[in-house]
Amino acid sequence: MMLSTASIEKMLRLIGALFLSVSMAPAHAQLKPGQPAPAFVLDAAFAGKPYRFSLADKLKNGPVIVYFYPKAFTSGCSIEANLFAEAADDFAKYGATVVGVSGDDIATLEKFSLGPCGGKFAVASDADRTVMRAYDATLFFTSSMASRISYVVTPDSKIYFVHSSLNPDQHVSSTLAAVKRWHARQ
């Protein structure tokens, strides 16, 4: 059965509309402000170098932005990483650490940490999805990938702020604003 050009174009428009509606829909986050943040230690990369990232260790220095993203080197994830890299010095002014978490392998993250992350913050590999599940940060239609959810975790290991949206544009500005509010109250 051959489809006409008009039928193919209509089908592509429908697929595009479906993709757009899914990509703009809010992600789902179970953890709420005030709840305990699950502790974790993961293999990570910072400026191309592998190491072990410990949430508990980083919380000793101040708040931690734990942001989950679906896949390194995809357009939305690269945009988000660039935005976090551009704001890294602003986060540091408030003693905040940024870590991105995905299911990517560490070799991929070593490259990603140098590329879109600009060597400015760590990205961690949650290959078995344990941390994603603990933070209820898997995509609603597949548990094999992280959703796009950003948490601000305070030094007392509590969730202070959550930004949940598959659109990468507001994660950095909203988490930075939350860090500033937290810092002002200290």
pLDDT of residue 72: 94
pLDDT of residue 18: 38
pLDDT of residue 16: 41
- The reply to whether the predicted model has a pTM over 0.75 is yes
Domain 30-184 CATH class label: alpha beta
Going from the C-alpha of 53 to that of each of 1, 10, 99, 108, the distances in angstroms are 54, 47, 9, 16
pLDDT of residue 17: 37
Spatial distance between the Cα atoms of 33 and 60, rounded to a whole number of angstroms:
19
Spatial distance between the Cα atoms of 146 and 137, rounded to a whole number of angstroms:
6
pLDDT of residue 59: 97
180 in Cβ contact with 161 (< 8 Å): no
152 in Cβ contact with 179 (< 8 Å): yes
Residue corresponding to tokens 């760590």: 122
pLDDT beneath 50, residues of the chain: 7-8, 11-29
173 in Cβ contact with 162 (< 8 Å): no
pLDDT of residue 146: 86
Question: Domain residue spans in the chain?
Answer: 30-184
Residues with a catalytic annotation lie at: 77
pLDDT of residue 183: 95
